[in-house]
Amino acid sequence: MAKTMFEKIWEQHIVAEPEDQPALIYIDLHLVHEVTSPQAFEALRITNRKVRRPDLTISTVDHNLPTDDTRNEVIKDPIARVQVDTLRQNCEDTGVVLYDIDSEAQGIVHVIGPEQGYTQPGMTIVCGDSHTSTHGAFGSLAFGIGTSEVEHVLATQTLRQAKPKTMEIRFNGELKQGVTAKDMILAAIGKMGTAGGTGYVVEYTGGAIKKLDMAGRMTVCNMTIEAGARAGLIAPDDTTFDWMRGRKFVPKGDDFDAVVAEWRELASDDDAEYDELLEIDCDELEPYVSWGTNPGQVARVTDSVPSPDDYEDPADVSSAERALEYMGLSGGTAIEDIEIDRVFIGSCTNARIEDLRSASQIVKGHMIASTVRAQIMPGSTLTKLQAEKEGLDEIFKGAGFEWRESGCSMCLGMNPDILVPGERCASTSNRNFEGRQGKGGRTHLVSPEMAAAAAIEGHFVDVRDWDSE
Amino acid sequence: MEKFNKLTSIVAPLDRANVDTDQIIPKQFLKRIERTGFGEFAFFDWRYLEDGVPNPDFILNEDRYQGANVLVGGRNFGSGSSREHAPWALKEMGFQAIIATSFADIFRNNCMQNGLLPVILSESEVDTIMARALRGSGYRVTVDLESQTVTDDQGLSASFDVDPFRKNSLLEGLDDVGITLSLGEAIDSFEKKRTARW
């Protein structure tokens, strides 16, 4: 029978299917960070259980690290410091590798997994973080879990999972210049809503997906969870293999060729069937800007903020009313008339070297608006070093951007980088929830190019009209 | 794991769609390394004014809902982050069951791991419970996991689905990890095959 890529990976990982129980799935790679792991390690200690496969577990610190030059001193926030120290101790006690603050391989967990070559096609990958879906860009089944499940994976290297349904999201046509992977996924979430994917694993297909580079594919898969689906996959192809070749933990030489041959088999069979299909025409897409307080509340840059009256469903109406009030916006305001105070280029969604290169192309030869504070937090320390090698830091600094260290930073504001109440931010991150970037802060989700252009103009502009130097 | 069997309680209504885990427990409270100490910070930005005084306009602060063990919410409850701190905070706030038309997947799993029962009912049933909870005070429902029903004394009788494995775990308060470790041989033999391949 014809199978989807998800079904192939799923079947290869079934350890047991006891009667009346969800399947027990083997986990190939477990990523760990400081925030969602301490209670899991503690539970193992209390129950006198071991980490079954420390060799399949890697950890880093990313969520609550400072990104300024105090970073290598002691973390000032005493509770954050305890959390980081606890991870260090847990890794030392259990033999799990830790990419600590002073390691070149440190970075946002979903950036370093692929960067180091840990993330590989056909794997099952979990992490106590909902954006684990990012790794699906390599054709792996990757999803976020809670702390009790982290404990379960640490102890057993397996997870009990009900089999999800499958959805194909097919991006037809071609992206216009200035329209990015971020716009593809924002458009899809806008169409589906933030619960449209609940219960599904998504596979992204179509010509526009095949044309995306790996960074773009990771951006798309990363935000799968914002549509409610825990995992999003893209079939691995030459783009994938070229990107992976030579990375530290990827097989080398003949082994690489052999494993690539296996990875090619993962793609969904031609006549495989999905439970749902959503088609999106990329010729129609524009740059998108979120206007509300969930990632489904998006508008085209050439459009206006909608009014609550534009909705029929009473829940959507009240949701729009609340969102507009929180965001300090009124229906009918042109997106390009929205002025911003802050710009954040960062996060596991859009802080890879490719994202920084794209943003630098916009910034080159310009200065940021005097009313704007703009910051860049590269996705990993290696990304930062690479950008510096290419001189991107000079472009950004010269334009008035702050060039920071890597970490999750202002995507969720667990570290000192937060918005103050009322501040409005063009952000390349993934969530515009109330208070996400700081209590009272107002987040607009955009692509790196759109964020860079907004930094310079002080308000949103259509990056398709940008006159790059 | 903590058990859930049956409970009768006042219902607290939170009539908003897409209540995300950033609202349930904001990030500044995620730095604790324990599973406890989150309850007082649940819904922090909605629940308290600038000076830390309870916000009189936030519905869950109203006297009539104090002591409620059942929360009725809007659709897509618990969307967003995977933080299990969200169910920990709700449990500590006193909730043992949440009724909604839909839940985000990760949040629903996390609730199940903590004896906090997510109950999915139809839109009309949730609307009925929401309306009755909003009207007057002292509205109660009985949530019964064994019979998979939610009932009140005004004629509501709704049934819900629950995965049989999860149901049994909740009723018996079973240790998930322990159950899986009892399948150790299957894991061992899977790993042998896997090592041969990788």
Rounded Cα distance between A181 and A221, Å, is 10
Q: Do B177 and A195 touch (CB under 8 A)?
A: no
On the CB side of B20, how many CA atoms lie within 13 Å of its CA?
A: 24
In this predicted structure, the answer to whether residue A5 has a pLDDT above a threshold of 80 is yes
pLDDT (mean) for A8-17: 97
Percent of chain A at pLDDT > 90 equals: 96
pLDDT tens track for A254-311: 999 999 999 999 999 999 999 999 999 999 999 999 999 999 999 999 999 999 999 9
How high does pLDDT run on average in chain B?
95
Rounded Cα distance between A142 and A86, Å, is 26
In this predicted structure, the answer to whether residue A436 has a pLDDT above a threshold of 80 is yes
Q: Do A436 and B27 touch (CB under 8 A)?
A: yes
Q: What is the interface size between A and B, counted as CB pairs within 8 Å?
A: 167
Q: Decide if B193 touches A, using CB distance below 8 A.
A: no
pLDDT tens track for A171-194: 999 999 999 999 999 999 999 999
Residues of A in contact with B32 (CB under 8 A): 79, 83
Residues 6+ apart with CB under 8 A from A253: none
Q: Which residue has the higher pLDDT, A74 or A320?
A: A320
pLDDT of residue A368: 98
Q: Do A148 and B165 touch (CB under 8 A)?
A: no
Kindly write down the DSSP assignment for every residue of A108-148, as one continuous string.
-HHHHHHHHT---TT-EEEESSGGGGGGGGGT-EEEE--HH
Rounded Cα distance between A207 and A411, Å, is 30
What is the pTM (predicted TM-score) of this model?
0.97
Q: Decide if B22 touches A, using CB distance below 8 A.
A: yes
pLDDT of residue B196: 64
In this predicted structure, the answer to whether residue B198 has a pLDDT above a threshold of 60 is no
Contact predicate A378/A390, CB 8 Å: no
Q: Name which of A19-23, A351-355, B144-148 the model is least confident about.
A: A19-23
Q: Decide if B105 touches A, using CB distance below 8 A.
A: yes
Name the residue among B83, B109, B177 with its Cβ closest to that of A155: B177
Helix A147-156 vs helix A38-46: angle between axes, to the nearest 10 degrees?
50
pLDDT tens track for A85-143: 999 999 999 999 999 999 999 999 999 999 999 999 999 999 999 999 999 999 999 99
pLDDT of residue A335: 98
Chain B neighbours among A 33-92 (CB < 8 Å)? 35-36, 38-39, 42, 47, 49, 52, 63-64, 77, 79-80, 82-83, 86
pLDDT tens track for B139-183: 999 999 999 999 999 999 999 999 999 999 999 999 899 999 999
Name the residue among A157, A162, A194 with its Cβ closest to that of B187: A157
Tokens (6 digits) for A454: 């907004």
pLDDT of residue A73: 81
Kindly write down the DSSP assignment for every residue of A282-339, as one continuous string.
GGG---EEE-SSSTT-EEETTSBPPPGGG--SHHHHHHHHHHHHHHT--TT-BGGG-B
pLDDT tens track for A297-331: 999 999 999 999 999 999 999 999 999 999 999 99
Q: Do B82 and A155 touch (CB under 8 A)?
A: no
Place of tokens 């599973």: B35
In what side-by-side order are the strands of the sheet with A97-99? A97-99, A57-60, A29-32, A124-127, A141-144
The 10 Å Cβ neighbour count of residue B189 is 12
pLDDT of residue A72: 78
**Nearest residue in chain A measured CA to CA from B195:** A28
Chain B neighbours among A 161-180 (CB < 8 Å)? 162
pLDDT of residue B136: 84
Residues 6+ apart with CB under 8 A from A171: A184, A204, A205, A206, A207, A208, A209, A280, A282
Place of tokens 């704007």: A372
In this predicted structure, the answer to whether residue B38 has a pLDDT above a threshold of 70 is yes
pLDDT tens track for B93-141: 999 999 999 999 999 999 999 999 999 999 999 999 999 999 989 999 9
Residue A469: which pLDDT band, with cuts at 50, 70 and 90? low
Q: Decide if A95 touches B, using CB distance below 8 A.
A: no
Q: Do A160 and B102 touch (CB under 8 A)?
A: no
Residue A388: which pLDDT band, with cuts at 50, 70 and 90? very high
Contact predicate A172/A206, CB 8 Å: yes
pLDDT of residue A69: 87
pLDDT of residue A414: 92
* Minimal CA separation from B31 to chain A, in Å: 6
pLDDT (mean) for B27-31: 93
In this predicted structure, the answer to whether residue B197 has a pLDDT above a threshold of 80 is no
Place of tokens 């783009």: A239
Contact predicate A289/A445, CB 8 Å: yes
Residues of A in contact with B20 (CB under 8 A): 294, 431, 433
- For β-strands A424-427 and A442-445, DSSP reports them as parallel
- In this prediction, the answer to ipTM > 0.90 reads yes
Chain B neighbours among A 280-319 (CB < 8 Å)? 294, 315-316, 318-319
| Interface with chain A: mutation pick from B14, B31, B45, B101, highest number of A CBs within 10 Å | B31
